[in-house]
Structure 1
Amino acid sequence: MTVPTRRTPSAKRRRYGFDLRSTALFFVLLAVVVSALGLAARVAAGAVERHPAWVFALVVTGVAGCLGLRRRMRVAGVARRAAAALDEAAREAAEELETVTVPPQRTSVEAAVDYDALTPEEFEEAVAALCERDGCSGVEVVGGAGDLGADVMAATPDGRRIVIQCKHYNESHRVGSQDMQRFGGTCFTVHGADVAVLVSTSDFTAPALEYAEQCGIVCVDRATLETWTDGTGPLPWEAAPGGGAGGWETTAAES
């Protein structure tokens, strides 16, 4: 004879079954919460009745504190954005400064040059170095056989083409009108000079200076060369027509 087995309820069914203890605990806690809220409401109502001004002040203080906190957060955000913008502007300014080209400054580094001790070729190199020192670009020494009167060529800082002839003469050998005429016949027509300069370690005769003035050639004698060298005198291209320096006076010995 088969004995029927008694089926027991599954764990799943027991989980969702009615639990009297849990239900009672829930209602007790709910009653405590409701009682606490009611007590708080009665205390608040009593405080409003007894001290309405204090309650109003507390409410205003709380609202102001919330608004102040929000404003401080907004100001902090604006300050952070401003600091980031300033930092970016500083970086851009630093990059711009790195790319700025500082114009060359005149110095007197060549003031101790003894031009009498130089060879004619070294004198041409020295004049070219002066041009480069004072801001000329593309400076070339082209003197030599067949130079047609041009010893140094360059571009002035304002973009004009300058052609220079160098005469390394001793004190007793002055630049005469024939020297000036030979240079004047090629400096403009052959070399395309905007500024023509004849530099000498000596002086110029009066006829040479007269011819130079008629042709617009700048004459640099020994005294003017020394002031150019030590940085106290005008630059040759400034004394040329249109150079803005009003020219200079060159001392000439009588012919």
Structure 2
Amino acid sequence: MARRRLTRARKRRLVRVGGGVLVGVGYLVWQYPWVVVGLVCVAVAGGGGWCLWAAHRRERLGDLAWRSRERRIELERSMAGIDAMSWQDFERYVAELCRRDGCTGVTVVGGAGDLAADVIGRLPDGRRLVVQVKHYAPHRKVPSGDMQKFVGMAYAEHHADVALYVTTCEYSAAARALALKHGITALNRDLFGSWNNGAPLLSLLPLGGAGGGPPRGRNRHRA
């Protein structure tokens, strides 16, 4: 019984509140019609603006999704061309990417007796860059033996400030661990794809291995 009385009391309050609101709205319309017209205009304009913003946002998100798909397709096509290169052409191509990003004195030195260096030059900031290039099939992995050879030569023999290993495949876990331990910047297939697609080399150095290498590997053998 108490609950029924409480429910009835709430209903009466709601009726009174609703009636008061209606009376207030009616009074406002009667006394200040221009205010009501202004509020209606504001509401209509706001609703229209929100609809335009929502439509623009949907269009923008759709455009971004389309561009992302196009970039992936373009990357796949460009990497297919890279895979079709000979290893000699790939070395020259990596040298061209270095020049594109402002490196100077870039020279291809790969071949017999290269002592594990294929490209040598200087970064835009003057650091000596030594690059090992491996044109492997995408399903392969760079073994630890290849990385060990480069680690042994990059700093001691070629006086690298930045030692860069570039490949068209992935690295084995052991090779990756060696790169991290010795400050080798290791660009795998995905990172090389980003470089090939326009990302500046300097922006990729911190993403591969230990970036530009630990302090002991920088500027200690300036040639």
Q: What TM-score, normalized by structure 2, do the two folds share?
A: 0.57
Q: Percent identity?
A: 44
Partner residue of 1:197?
164
Query: Which of residues 97, 109, 117 is equivalent to 1:142?
Result: 109
- Structure 2 unaligned spans of 5+: 1-70, 216-223
Query: Which of residues 122, 135, 160 is equivalent to 1:155?
Result: 122
Cα deviation, residue 237, structure 1: 4.3
TM-aligned CA distance change 1:232 to 1:138, over 3 Å: closer
Q: Structure 1, residues 133-179: CA drift from partner, whole Å, max 9, x if none?
A: 00000000000000000000010000000000000000222101111
Partner residue of 2:96?
129
As a proportion of its length, which structure holds more helix? Answer: 2
Q: Structure 1, residues 77-111: CA drift from partner, whole Å, max 9, x if none?
A: xxxxxxxxxxxxxxxxxxxxxxxxxxxxxxx9x97
Q: In structure 2, how many angstroms separate the alpha carbons of the residues matched to 1:183 and 1:234?
A: 20
Q: In structure 2, how many angstroms separate the alpha carbons of the residues matched to 1:221 and 1:233?
A: 15
RMSD: 2.2
- Structure 1 unaligned spans of 5+: 1-107, 244-255
Q: Structure 1, residues 231-251: CA drift from partner, whole Å, max 9, x if none?
A: 2465344531379xxxxxxxx
Question: Is 2:183–2:214's contact at 8 Å kept on the other side of the alignment?
Answer: no
Aligned residues: 135
TM-aligned CA distance change 1:170 to 1:237, over 3 Å: same
Partner residue of 1:240?
212
Q: What TM-score, normalized by structure 1, do the two folds share?
A: 0.50
* Amino acid aligned to 1:223: D
Q: In structure 1, how many angstroms separate the alpha carbons of the residues matched to 2:104 and 2:205?
A: 13
Partner residue of 1:170?
137
**Structure with bigger RCO (C-alpha 8 Å, 6+ apart):** 2
Query: Which of residues 122, 126, 149 is equivalent to 1:182?
Result: 149
In the TM superposition, 1:65-80 aligns within 5 A as none
Partner residue of 2:178?
211
Q: In structure 1, how many angstroms separate the alpha carbons of the residues matched to 2:87 and 2:105?
A: 21
